[in-house]
Amino acid sequence: MKSLYGLPSKVVHCKFCLMSNQKPFSINETKNKKGSYKNGLYINKEGKCAACIYNEKKNININWVAREQKLKVMLDKFRKKNGNYDCIVSGSGGKDSSTIAHILKYKYNMNPLTVTYSPILYTEVGWRNLRNWIRVGGFDNYLFTPNGKISSILAKEAFKNMLHPIQPFKFGIKSFAAKMALKFDIELV
């Protein structure tokens, strides 16, 4: 028996991280269609969710020391000696983008340019995160804010046609970073 949006009607929590099977499982947004159902987070018979299963496997199957050495070799190929930006971190200043930028700059001595494609509407926390990323984190940032009228129309159309109003924003995020890389002569990998 399925509930609204096709999620399981019985709520089950992972015994390890407490996430529930009501958390929609990520899929490519372009596969969402009107009337399509979402799969909830998979939880196995032992009560372990897909995220915990993956976490366990990656910590067993990946040699993290060797992986870091490969990363250092790759970063050395792109590091610029003249003080110019040598990489781009696209993000909002939330935990993912600020962690990546911080590690690149302070652990691996890279000089990242941070870029942000503005959402249609900032939350108070989101705006504070962005400002702190720039002020406290010590990063240069380019913030692009698209035309609000066009953004609203695209979000409405994406919702009507795909049930995914954030789709135009995601396309903006992906294309803005690449455009900025070209502008600052940062090699695309």
Whether the CB-CB separation of 116 and 141 falls below 8 Å is answered with: yes
pLDDT given at position 19: 92
pTM over 0.85: no
Handedness of CA 100, 106, 112, 118 (dihedral sign): positive
CA distance 183 to 88: 11
Strand, helix or coil for residue 147: coil
The predicted pLDDT at position 177 comes to 93
Mean pLDDT of all residues in 12-19: 95
Q: Where are the alpha helices (DSSP H) in the chain?
A: 50-61, 64-78, 95-102, 124-135, 148-162, 167-183
Indicate whether 3 pLDDT > 90: no
What residues are paired with 90 via a beta bridge?
A: 115
Tell me the pairing of strands 87-90 and 140-144: unpaired
pLDDT tens per residue, range 159-188:
998 888 888 988 998 899 999 999 998 987
Secondary structure class of 165 (helix, strand, coil)? coil
What residues have CB less than 8 Å from 141, skipping those under 6 apart?
113, 114, 115, 116, 130, 133, 134
Per-residue CA distances from 186 to 78, 79, 110, 137, 138 (Å): 8, 10, 12, 21, 20
The pLDDT of residue 68 is above 90:
yes
User: What is the H or E stretch that residue 39 is in?
Assistant: none
